[in-house]
Amino acid sequence: MDDLVEVKEVRKIFKGKGKSPDVLAVDTVNLKIKKNEFITILGPSGCGKSTLLRMIGGLEKQSEGIIYLARNEITGPSANRGMVFQAYSLFPWLTVEENIQFGSKIKKMESAKKKAITQQYIELVGLKGFEQHYPKQLSGGMQQRVAIARALANEPEILLLDEPFGALDSQTRLIMQELLLTIWEKTHKTILFITHDVEEAIFLGTRVLTMTSRPGKIKADIPITLEHPRSYKIKTEHHFIDLKEQLTELIRSESLKSIELQAQ
Ligand SMILES: Nc1ncnc2c1ncn2[C@@H]1O[C@H](COP(=O)(O)OP(=O)(O)OP(=O)(O)O)[C@@H](O)[C@H]1O
Ligand SMILES: [Mg+2]
C-alpha cells in the first residue's frame, strides 16, 4: 500500500536570536505513515515532538529535507490535515455546532449536508444535546471532543493530535482515550498522536515510535499487535505490561539524558 505521509531526511534548526545559540530541534527524521495507521509518538519533554508534528501540519517549515502527503510536497497548512492541540482551541464566541462547522471544507457545503455532517460528528463524540452550548459551558473533556469533531468534520486525510488529553484529569483522560479508539475502530482515519504517556501510546497505537532526547530522532518503531476492539481491560494483560516495560525503559533512558544535558 502507498504511504500517506513520507517524512524524508527532515531536520529543524531554530535560529537563535541575539546572543542565544541556534537550536537543533529535530535531526534527520525519516518516517512513513500508511493510510489507516494509528501512530503514537512517545518522547521526553523538549525532544522535538511538537516541532515534528507542526512541520507535518505545515505550521512550521523544516530547515532540511522534505515531507509529502499523498505524494504532494507539504508547503503549508491545508484542510487535508486536521489538528488538535493540548490547549483548548475552540472559538469562545461560537456554539459547539458553529465551531464544528468552521473548517474550510465544511463551510462551503450546502446547508442540509453541512447540518447532517455536523450531527454525525456530534453524535460520534457523544455530544448530542450540546449543539447550542458555548465552549465556556463545557468541561475540558467536552471541549476536546468538540475539537476532535471539528477536525474530523472537515474530512482530512490525517488527524494530527499533539497531547490532546494532556490537560485533562486522569479519569477523563482514560475515557477520552477509549472514545478516540472507538472512533478509529469505526472510521480507520489515519492518526498521528503525540504523547509522553507510555500507557496511552500503547493503548491507542497500531505502532509506537519513540524519540531520542533533543535533537529528536526516531529511536524505536514498535508495532502494537493487540487486538481490536480494545477495552481498558487490556492494560492488565501480560503482553501490554511487557510492552509498557520495554517502552518505559526506552523513554526513561532518553529523559535521563535530557536532564543530564540541562544540568551541564
Ligand atoms: N518557535 C521556536 N523557536 C525557538 N525554539 C523553539 C521553538 N519551538 C520549539 N523550540 C525548541 O525546540 C525544541 C523542541 O521543542 P518541542 O516543542 O518540539 O518539544 P516537545 O518534544 O514537543 O516538548 P514537550 O514534550 O515539552 O511538549 C526545544 O528545545 C524548544 O525550546
Ligand atoms: Mg510538545
pLDDT tens digits, 244-261:
999 999 999 988 887 877
Q: Looking at the CA of residue 86, tell me the nearest atom of ligand 1.
A: 27
CA distance 82 to 257: 33
pTM of the model: 0.95
Position 1 scores a pLDDT of: 60
List the domains of the chain with CATH numbers: 1-80+193-233 (3.40.50.300)
Residue 222 near residue 246, CB atoms below 8 Å: yes
b or e along 50-73 (b: 16 or more beta carbons within 10 Å of the residue's beta carbon)? bbbbbbbbbebebbebebebeeee
Rounded to 5 degrees, what are φ and ψ at 140? Answer: -60, -45
Q: How many Å separate Cα 264 from the centre of its chain?
A: 32
Q: Looking at the CA of residue 15, tell me the nearest atom of ligand 1.
A: 4
Residues with CB under 5 A from ligand 2 (ion): 50
pLDDT tens digits, 142-179:
999 999 999 999 999 999 999 999 999 999 999 999 99
HEC profile of 108-136: CCCHHHHHHHHHHHHHHCCCCCCCCCCHH
Question: Which residue's alpha carbon is nearest to atom 28 within ligand 1?
Answer: 46
Cα-to-centroid distance, 255 and ligand 2 (Å): 14
Cα-to-centroid distance, 10 and ligand 2 (Å): 18
Q: Percent of the chain, pLDDT > 70?
A: 99
